[in-house]
């Protein structure tokens, strides 16, 4: 090896060592920014109470807290009361008092009557060192806006129309008697007993909703579970599972690259679009079902056969379990696929090159299937009840 080549190799090695040292200096502790919230508070903590913030009367409330938990309750006095507590981690009592003195709770009254509460934390303190916990009591029915980071937001028995924005934290709301709009990312959302409309936009999270009315969910990398819903459901999601149980209302699902599970559904209309993953439904009682599936299996079991069942599939195996009490009219076009009937249903099968619109005559249900590279299998479902 020539002398010049040796010098080049030594130079590259030296450059690599210097780069590694500089990179380790940026993150000496090897901290992972995506570390779960519950692991960020390990170590001793000093809590120092700040002076309470109060205001009355109130027309609208805006609260911004960049790091720390928040608890919301209604106040019978009709006034806004906020009790702040500074939480200092891995700090002595003297250091904690010094840190707490640098935290400001600013209250601003805007021209429109909004009370804006901002928690100002010095920029040289991170959320692993210092957080501010807010215990909030607010008057009933006053609109509420909340912006939270690196904390847990808890709401119980509120009657306030609310807009909640949570990032890298958790949201828990129960017995909410008004509309609730949620924007959430990187954490968990648990909602129950929501009486009014529920609108959720979430990503990289786990969503659990129980006992509520109308629900709209737009998700991305969000694991979604809805249970005991008594209203219409609209869900769109990508890359994470959607699980719906005990739903009594119309359903519209658009899911890509994620499995769908349905159980105990009583609906007039059920519309589903699914790509690249499986769709499983059990104990379904719907009047009209429209499904579009691609590159994923479809397996549906009906407690009551729909009056109209329209399925369009590509590169998907179709499995329908039908009750034997009604003989449906089956209109199927299967290109490069097979039709197998292992049920007791005496279907009237029509195959044609083009799929024409077929209308039910009297009470005869109609099943329409348009499939490419898809097999259709009919089975008999056992007696089922959605109650």
Is residue 254, in this structure, part of any structural domain at all? no
pLDDT band (50, 70, 90) for residue 346: low
CA angle, corner 218, sides to 216 and 222, nearest 5? 120
The residues that bridge with 85 in the sheet, in sequence order, are: 49, 133
Which range among 173-177, 235-239, 303-307 shows the weakest confidence by mean pLDDT? Answer: 303-307
Q: Three-state SS for 228? A: strand
Query: Which residue in the block uniquely carries the two structure tokens 């009750």?
Result: 323
Query: Span 32-48, mean pLDDT?
Result: 60
Is residue 189, in this structure, part of any structural domain at all? no
Q: For residue 355, what pLDDT is reported?
A: 40
Domain extent for 315:
259-387
Check whether 222 has a pLDDT greater than 90.
yes
Cα separation, 139 vs 73, whole angstroms: 9
* DSSP assignment string, 290-309: EEEEESS-EEEEEEE--SEE
Is residue 61, in this structure, part of any structural domain at all? no
Supply the mean pLDDT for the chain. 86
Q: For residue 103, what pLDDT is reported?
A: 94
Q: What pLDDT digit, counting tens, does each position of 313-339 carry?
A: 999 999 999 887 777 878 888 888 888
Contacts of 55 (CB under 8 A, 6+ apart): 79, 80, 107, 109, 115
Check whether 194 has a pLDDT greater than 90.
yes
Of 329 and 357, more confident: 329
Q: For residue 363, what pLDDT is reported?
A: 61
Of 274 and 19, more confident: 274
Task: Residue 130: name the closest of 40, 64, 52 by CA.
Answer: 40
Query: Span 218-223, mean pLDDT?
Result: 97
Which range among 30-44, 101-115, 222-236, 293-307 shows the weakest confidence by mean pLDDT? Answer: 30-44
Is residue 252, in this structure, part of any structural domain at all? no
Q: For residue 230, what pLDDT is reported?
A: 96
Q: What pLDDT digit, counting tens, does each position of 101-130 carry?
A: 999 999 999 998 899 999 999 988 888 899
Is residue 336, in this structure, part of any structural domain at all? yes
pLDDT band (50, 70, 90) for residue 380: confident
Specify the length of the chain in residues.
Answer: 387
Cα separation, 277 vs 259, whole angstroms: 5
Is residue 263, in this structure, part of any structural domain at all? yes
Q: What pLDDT digit, counting tens, does each position of 131-172 carry?
A: 999 999 999 999 999 999 999 999 999 999 999 999 999 999
Query: Which residue in the block uniquely carries the two structure tokens 């939480």?
Result: 87
Which range among 187-191, 242-246, 280-284, 362-366 shows the weakest confidence by mean pLDDT? Answer: 362-366
Q: What pLDDT digit, counting tens, does each position of 245-268 carry?
A: 999 999 999 999 999 999 999 999
Cα separation, 326 vs 341, whole angstroms: 15
Q: What pLDDT digit, counting tens, does each position of 255-312 carry?
A: 999 999 999 999 999 999 999 999 999 999 999 999 999 999 999 999 988 999 999 9
Q: What percent of the chain has pLDDT over 70?
A: 82
Q: For residue 334, what pLDDT is reported?
A: 84
Is residue 158, in this structure, part of any structural domain at all? no
Total structural domains within the chain:
1
Cα separation, 105 vs 119, whole angstroms: 5
Q: For residue 31, what pLDDT is reported?
A: 30
Is residue 314, in this structure, part of any structural domain at all? yes
- Ramachandran angles phi, psi of 307, nearest 5°: -65, -35
Check whether 66 has a pLDDT greater than 80.
yes
Q: For residue 295, what pLDDT is reported?
A: 93
Q: For residue 342, what pLDDT is reported?
A: 85
Check whether 67 has a pLDDT greater than 60.
yes
């Amino acid at each position: 090896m020539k002398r010049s080549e040796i010098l080049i190799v030594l130079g590259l090695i030296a450059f690599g060592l210097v780069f590694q040292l500089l990179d380790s200096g940026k993150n000496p502790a090897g901290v992972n920014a995506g570390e779960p919230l519950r692991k960020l508070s390990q170590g001793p903590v000093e809590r120092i109470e700040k002076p309470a913030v109060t205001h009355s009367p109130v027309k609208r409330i805006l609260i911004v807290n960049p790091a720390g938990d928040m608890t919301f309750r209604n106040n019978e006095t009709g006034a806004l009361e906020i009790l702040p507590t500074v939480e200092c981690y891995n700090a002595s009592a003297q250091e904690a008092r010094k840190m707490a003195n640098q935290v400001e709770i600013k209250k601003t009254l805007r021209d429109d009557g909004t009370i804006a509460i901002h928690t100002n934390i010095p920029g040289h303190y991170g959320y692993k060192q210092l957080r501010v916990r807010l215990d909030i009591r607010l008057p009933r029915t006053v609109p509420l806006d909340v912006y939270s980071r690196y904390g847990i937001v808890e709401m119980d028995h509120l009657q306030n129309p609310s807009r909640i924005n949570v990032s890298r934290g958790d949201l828990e709301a129960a017995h909410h008697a008004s509309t609730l709009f949620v924007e959430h990312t990187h954490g968990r959302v648990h909602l129950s007993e929501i009486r009014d409309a529920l609108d959720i936009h979430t990503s990289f999270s786990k969503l659990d909703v129980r006992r509520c009315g109308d629900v709209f969910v737009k998700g991305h990398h969000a694991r979604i579970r809805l249970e005991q819903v008594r209203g219409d459901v609209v869900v769109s999601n990508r890359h994470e599972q959607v699980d719906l149980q005990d739903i009594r209302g119309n359903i519209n699902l658009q899911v890509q690259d994620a499995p769908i599970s349905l159980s105990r559904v009583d609906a007039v209309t059920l519309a589903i679009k699914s790509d690249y993953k499986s769709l499983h439904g059990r104990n379904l009682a719907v009047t009209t079902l429209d499904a579009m599936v691609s590159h994923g299996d479809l397996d549906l079991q009906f407690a009551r056969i729909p009056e109209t069942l329209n399925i369009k599939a590509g590169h998907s195996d179709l499995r329908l379990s039908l009750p034997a009490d009604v003989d449906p009219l089956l209109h199927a076009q299967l290109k490069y696929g097979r039709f197998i009937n292992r049920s007791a249903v005496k279907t009237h099968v029509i195959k044609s090159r083009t799929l024409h619109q077929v209308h039910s005559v009297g009470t005869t249900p109609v099943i329409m299937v348009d499939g490419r590279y898809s097999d259709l299998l009919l089975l008999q479902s056992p007696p089922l009840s959605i109650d």
